[in-house]
Amino acid sequence: MNALRIGTRGSDLALQQARAVASALERCGAAPCELRVIRTSGDRIETGVLSEFGGKGLFVKEIEEALSGNEIDIAVHSAKDLPVVVPSGLIVQGYLPREDARDGFVLPRGVTIRTPATILEILEQFGPEPRIGTSSVRRIAQLVTRCPGAVFKPIRGNLDTRLRKVDGREYDVIVLAVAGLRRLGFAHRLSAAFTVDECVPAPGQGAIAMETRVDDTAANESVARVDDPNTRTAVTAERALVKTLGGGCQMPIGAYAVVKGSELHLDAVVSSLDGTHVPRFRLSGVRDEPEMLGHVVAQRLLEAGAADILGNLRRSQVSETDES
């Protein structure tokens, strides 16, 4: 029996996610798995904000090329990094059960907080201009009005690097995905998590996606054994919303879907970068039609002003490209 070749980025988090996929597959009786590490365009960008480099597919392109070229059998991605349009001949075949999808924040070692406390109350101890570390335009756009006076500073690097920076007081607070902290064994560093009402997660956040070739029967059957139906349904709705909006992973779009019995609930937001215009819409539908629910919610957002927000962002990005 030939081993299943699993393609992944080389970061600690990516490797942990790929190992989780391999373990799940082997527990279900699939062929033995071997990991193939692939360096992506996003891995080569060590400074700056990813949206300045195009954003879309930066952590995916080279892995998908290896999959299309039959160098690997399964590509493992953070679902939030995966463009909503996949190359011809490839398919997102499954998802592992989703981790906590929320955003959270980490304070420097030795700094304690009283609970319960709002993010604003927590930031007050750092003075009138607390420094918040995040490179996510979605997080900034949603938090800017909740944290008046805050200075948002870009932060890059792996989790260890980011934690060292906040502990070294380069930042007063850093904002991270709860799922990444938990998967890498740093749940104890999580100071608190934002509720979905406070900060809607990125579409697909907390989910591990498995991509295969459409015609690879063996790989597809193996992935189907470990595919989590609820995660697939929720992420399908979120990705359908992004597709209808014409957005990507570097746009200020938040979307979070959850399955409850026979129903699917979707909460989504598009924020202007200054936080002054924040169209948001929540809707429930039947769980068997996740793409329809995503499309309907996206249409409502577009009608409520998301079209102008996203259009202005795209025009500004084109203008910056033309001037560079």
Residue among 12, 43, 81, 197 flagged as catalytic: 81
DSSP string, 259-308: EETTEEEEEEEE--TTSS---EEEEEEETT-HHHHHHHHHHHHIIIIIHH
Per the CB < 8 A criterion, the answer to whether 73 and 43 are in contact is no
Per the CB < 8 A criterion, the answer to whether 253 and 275 are in contact is no
**Which string of b and e fits 58-89 if b means at least 16 CB within 10 Å?**
bbbbbbbbbbeeeebbbbbbbbbbbbbebeee
Is there a catalytic annotation at residue 103? no
Q: How far, in Å, CA of 142 to CA of 107, rounded?
A: 19
What residues are paired with 153 via a beta bridge? Answer: 133
Q: How far, in Å, CA of 256 to CA of 147, rounded?
A: 22
Report how far apart, in Å, the C-alpha atoms of 22 and of each of 100, 226, 257 are: 21, 10, 26
- Nearest-10 Cα torsion for 54, 56, 62, 65: -130
Active site amino acids: 81
